[in-house]
Structure formats: C-alpha cells, structure tokens
Chains A and B, each alone.
Chain A
C-alpha cells in the first residue's frame, strides 16, 4: 500500500509529534508514505477566505504533483485534507475549471487521483481486525473522548467516510486499542482553531465548552486527528481548578498500544503533560 504523503506545514513544527507518530505507525502497518517532493502550503482558511482562485491553485499544485507520481494522497491534517478534497471535488467533472487551474499552476492536472485522510486509511484499508493483532499493550482503563472537529466530516459532499453528525471511525479505533471510549456530544463541534490567534476569546470559549462536555462524559483525555485542533485545545484550555485535559493524536495512541516505548520523546512535546495520566494506567 503506497501513498503520496502530504504532511502539511503544522506537522513540520507545532505538530511535530503528529508527523513522527504518523510515520512510525504507517511503517509498522506497511503503509508506504512517499512525501510529495516540494509540496506547498494548502492555504488553509486564509486562502479560501480571501481569494478562492488562490485557494484552488495552492491545493491544485499539490494534487498535480501527486498525480505525476501516479499515487493517491494520504493526509494527516484535516484542514489540508478539506482543501485538497474541495479542489479535487470541484475540478473532477468540470474540464473548463480544470483547464483554468492548470494554467494558474502551470502544471498538467486531470483530477484523476484521490485524497484520503490517514484515519480513514488506517481504519478502513488496514482494518481494525488487522490492527487488533498488533495491540500488545491495550489502553485498559483509559477514558477517552474522540474529537473529530470539522473537516473530517464536513461538508459531507466533499468528505464522506463517516457520518457528519455522529461519526464512529475513531471511536471504533480506540475501542479496538482497548480504551474506554466515552460517548459525548462534542465530537463534531468546532473548537475555533482558525480564530485561535486572531480572536482568542472565541477560541477560549469554544475550547472550554468542549473540555466541559468531555469531562461531564467522564473522559480523562481528548483524542484528536487535527494539528490545529490539538494546538488550540492545548493552548486555549484555561485552568479552572481542575487539571487540564491532555490531548492525544490518534496515531500516538496506536503507537502506545503497540507496546513501543520510544513514544516518550514525542509525548514530551505536549504542552499539557499526559505522563501523569498514562502512568496511572501503567502505560
């Protein structure tokens, strides 16, 4: 199984631990990730909020580069995922738009490839049955709230591997890893990540609503699949007498359940230390 890997900018810096755990987990699961040579930023919300032609061009250059490799794309960051998929979706059945895009990026582009999120690839292509065979150290007793956020599930015309209101992919994954997955209603609520730097108050309010909901559901930590949600949930969580909830990437937990201790150096990068929680569960 081989994919063109699009890490995205966050995974080179603020979400280094996500990139390291993605690469390590994929190697173990025999998913070959060939990083797209000279990939560029997808433009994120700043692109489509201010110039949608630019947004398509930024995403389109990456799609065209992957297409020239003859590979489908694997993405870790949902914010990149939605940009690449939106452009792929809009170009697919529209040769006029495709030709216009090819002119903007000065590269041939046929919209032939697919873009997949790694959560989708791991859970649906590798499959939970196969993953279960690799679980050496089940995450027993760890009470988790799976957080999907926006772009893994919305808009459903563009991303469609799970239900937009009550997705289950990550829940089933963490259940397979042996954790105690809590049902909660914050799964697909926005954390305000795109406003984390420009409208701090909004981000703080949305994050505190999410952590309150997760706590009420009995969770000890939140599991995320997005570097922007992760950063926002860590940095905009305000201490309120209770200790802050640690936030994990789903790939870090797969790695831990595989029983490999090297993860420590990644987990040290977290701003909210997960070591107390993990230690209390013998992990």
Chain B
C-alpha cells in the first residue's frame, strides 16, 4: 500500500512485519527504542540506518527501505546487539532474516559483502571445506577489484598460510546434495 506525505510517496507492506517475525523467530514488538543495540554496534559508523531504526522500519512495514539498506550487510555478526538488548529482541536473527529476503528479492545494496558470502559458499558446495586462496581469487573476480591486497596474499603464501589446492571431502557429492535439499523453500516458519 502507498500513502503520500509531505516528502513524497512512501510504500508500506502490511504483511512485512509478520513475515519477518515468522522468518526471524524473534519478537519485534518488544523493542522500546532504547538504542542499546545501536550504541554498542561496531559497524554503526558505516551504516545508512542504525539497527534500532531498521527494527522500527520493519514494525512499520517499510519493506523496501529495510531490505535495501546497507545496514543489514555491514553488520559484522558480532552478537553484541542480541546479547545486550534489555528486552530479549534477537536483532542478529532479524538481520539474518532481512538478508535472506534481500537476496531472494535481488535488492542487495552492499554487493561486495553478498559476493563474499556467495564465493564462500560456492567453495563449500564444491569441496565441502573452505579454500582460502580460491576464495580470495573468486572474490577479486566477482568485485573486479584485482589489485588490492596482492602483496598481502604473496606474503601469506610465502609463509605457508595459503594452500595451493583445496581439501576435498570424501563425501563431496553428499555435500552438494545437502546444499540442494536446503535450497528448497521451507514449508513455513523458521528454517530447519
């Protein structure tokens, strides 16, 4: 639904709060905007909206604003917000649910972060374990950032910190099957 205010059109989606609530498994109504989450957030300085503002957006059904924020991607997953919330709102689960939705709808603002996750999981799908050298190379190709950290990579390689070849699981095929099973949309509520 849309309504107009002085600044222009605002869209809100009345089903968004309940969708997020079901997907995150956390109670959003408990937030009383004390700002504890945002004050302790290490990435807050790099966010377009603070975590407490994202929570308010979800409550109000401002789906587009929440899903296209940089906040959900520059969140460092440190769990400080969820740990310190005086009203037990699990903000990290909320962020996870919003990230999943943003990916599904193809509205990711911080593409480098999403590219990292994609490259990371592509490797795990293929070999069952992470292989850091190819993770770094894949990320470079995906983000077209070919020259940063090259000296660092060379130093790590010389120190024997980067293996040339990936370690492949015996059951690598089973690994791919697990990925495929989890990619079918869940029948409802929270994941597995």
Tell me whether A85 is interfacial, beta carbon within 8 Å.
Answer: no
C-beta contact mask, B105-135 vs A, less than 8 Å → 1, else 0?
0000010111111101100100011111101
Say whether B116 contacts A198, CB under 8 Å: yes
- Supposing A49-B96, A104-B181, A235-B152 touch, asked if A9 and B132 sit within 8 A by C-beta, the answer is yes
Say whether B128 contacts A154, CB under 8 Å: no
Scan residues 1-38 of chain A and give those whose CB is less than 8 A from a CB of chain B. 9-10, 12-16, 38
Say whether B117 contacts A16, CB under 8 Å: no
Say whether B160 contacts A269, CB under 8 Å: yes
Most buried by A among B46, B162, B163, B191: B191
Give the complex CA separation of A13 and B174 in angstroms.
Answer: 24
Tell me whether B15 is interfacial, beta carbon within 8 Å.
Answer: no
> Measuring CB to CB, which residues of chain A are less than 8 angstroms from any residue of chain B?
9-10, 12-16, 38, 40-41, 43-58, 60-61, 97, 100-101, 103-106, 150-151, 154-156, 164, 189-190, 192-195, 197-202, 205-206, 235, 268-271
Which residues of the partner chain B approach A104 to less than 8 Å between Cβ atoms? 178, 181-182, 192
Tell me whether B5 is interfacial, beta carbon within 8 Å.
Answer: no
Sort A-B residue pairs by CB-CB distance and give the 3 closest, nearest first: A190-B78, A9-B130, A53-B191
Give the complex CA separation of A199 and B116 in angstroms.
Answer: 10
Give 15 pairs: A residue, B residue, CB < 8 Å, sorted on A.
A10-B130, A40-B124, A46-B116, A49-B99, A50-B121, A51-B191, A54-B178, A56-B192, A58-B178, A106-B174, A154-B82, A190-B42, A190-B78, A199-B110, A199-B113
B84 CB to nearest A CB, Å = 8
A197 CB to nearest B CB, Å = 6
**B103, closest chain A residue (CB):** A50
Which residues of the partner chain B approach A154 to less than 8 Å between Cβ atoms? 78-80, 82-83
**A193, closest chain B residue (CB):** B76
Residues of B contacting A: mostly = helix
Which residues of the partner chain A approach B148 to less than 8 Å between Cβ atoms? 200
- Supposing A52-B96, A151-B79 touch, asked if A198 and B124 sit within 8 A by C-beta, the answer is no
Which residues of the partner chain B approach A9 to less than 8 Å between Cβ atoms? 129-132
Say whether A189 contacts B42, CB under 8 Å: yes
Tell me whether B100 is interfacial, beta carbon within 8 Å.
Answer: yes
Say whether A195 contacts B113, CB under 8 Å: yes
Partner among A49, A52, A205 whose Cβ is within 8 Å of the Cβ of B45: A205
Give the complex CA separation of A18 and B142 in angstroms.
Answer: 30
Q: How large, as a class, is the contact surface on chain B?
A: 35 or more
Say whether B192 contacts A52, CB under 8 Å: yes
Give the complex CA separation of A34 and B182 in angstroms.
Answer: 29
Say whether B139 contacts A155, CB under 8 Å: no
Tell me whether B35 is interfacial, beta carbon within 8 Å.
Answer: no
Which residues of the partner chain A approach B175 to less than 8 Å between Cβ atoms? 40
Say whether B159 contacts A268, CB under 8 Å: yes
Give the complex CA separation of A97 and B191 in angstroms.
Answer: 8
Partner among A12, A151, A195, A200 whose Cβ is within 8 Å of the Cβ of B167: A12
B50 CB to nearest A CB, Å = 15
Which residues of the partner chain B approach A151 to less than 8 Å between Cβ atoms? 79
Given contacts A13-B131, A100-B192, A105-B178, could you give 16 more A-B pairs where the C-beta distance is less than 8 Å? A38-B171, A40-B128, A40-B169, A41-B129, A43-B121, A51-B100, A54-B179, A56-B191, A60-B192, A150-B78, A151-B79, A190-B42, A192-B42, A195-B76, A198-B115, A271-B159
**A195, closest chain B residue (CB):** B76
Partner among A13, A53, A198 whose Cβ is within 8 Å of the Cβ of B186: A53
Say whether A202 contacts B74, CB under 8 Å: yes
- Supposing A199-B113, A201-B46, A202-B46 touch, asked if A51 and B163 sit within 8 A by C-beta, the answer is no
Say whether A13 contacts B162, CB under 8 Å: yes
